[in-house]
């Protein structure tokens, strides 16, 4: 009888551990799938705000496109391969007219005052000028902060981003730990 009671005690402890692990896993899955999605930055196009290797939490849009504001950092699917995601900063919103003259961004014929753009003087400036682009009701103009190396809405390859390709907004940096925190002012 004692052996049976010992077995039950051991089994209870084991069951508690398994239940705890399953609970933590379920909470993590819900957190990642419903609330926030992790992603890793794999290029230098968003430097200095984001660096290659940064791990971010993305808040899913879930068809609530009114959440997207100018200067938000968004994750979206590449139009030619939905399995490839790209991260850039929103500069132009639906209905805006965007034009770039000598690296100065104009929105609706007014200079955009922003501090996000980084221009490396040693790199070739490929998109110093962009002819006027009028955004449709479902289009966004996105640019990487590292302007000389970023492929973004200034290029014909990427072009403007359709809202139904936007996955979410980058809201939090998990890694590296020395940059851990909100991306609200990045």
Which of these is catalytic: 88, 97, 128, 162?
88
Q: What letter does residue 21 receive in the DSSP assignment?
A: H
Asked if 184 contacts 177 with a C-beta cutoff of 8 angstroms, the reply is: no
Asked if 103 contacts 119 with a C-beta cutoff of 8 angstroms, the reply is: yes
Rounded CA-CA distance 61/168 in Å is 5
Q: Tell me if residue 120 falls in helix, strand or coil.
A: coil
Strand stretches in 127-165, DSSP E: 130-134, 139-143, 161-162
Rounded CA-CA distance 176/173 in Å is 8
Residue 155 annotated as catalytic: no
Residue 45 annotated as catalytic: yes
Which of these is catalytic: 12, 45, 77, 134?
45
Q: Tell me if residue 59 falls in helix, strand or coil.
A: strand
Query: CA separation (Å) from 63 to 1, 60, 67, 138, 163?
Result: 61, 9, 9, 12, 9
Catalytic residues: 45, 88
């Amino acid at each position: 009888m004692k052996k049976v009671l010992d077995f039950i005690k051991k089994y209870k402890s084991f069951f508690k551990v398994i239940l705890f692990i399953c609970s933590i896993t379920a909470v993590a899955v819900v957190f990642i799938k419903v609330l926030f999605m992790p992603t890793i930055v794999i290029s230098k196009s968003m430097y200095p705000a984001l660096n290659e290797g940064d791990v971010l939490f993305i808040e899913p849009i879930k068809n609530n496109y009114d959440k997207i504001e100018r200067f938000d950092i968004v994750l979206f699917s590449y139009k030619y391969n939905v399995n490839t995601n790209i991260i850039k900063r929103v500069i132009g919103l639906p209905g805006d007219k965007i034009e770039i003259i000598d690296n100065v961004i104009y929105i609706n014929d007014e200079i955009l005052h922003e501090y996000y753009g980084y221009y490396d003087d040693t790199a070739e400036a490929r998109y110093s000028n962009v002819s006027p682009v009028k955004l449709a009701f479902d289009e966004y103009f996105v640019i990487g902060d590292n302007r000389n190396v970023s492929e973004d809405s200034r290029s014909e390859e990427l072009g403007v981003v359709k809202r139904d390709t936007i996955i979410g907004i980058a809201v939090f940096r998990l890694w590296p730990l020395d940059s851990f925190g909100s991306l609200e002012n990045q």
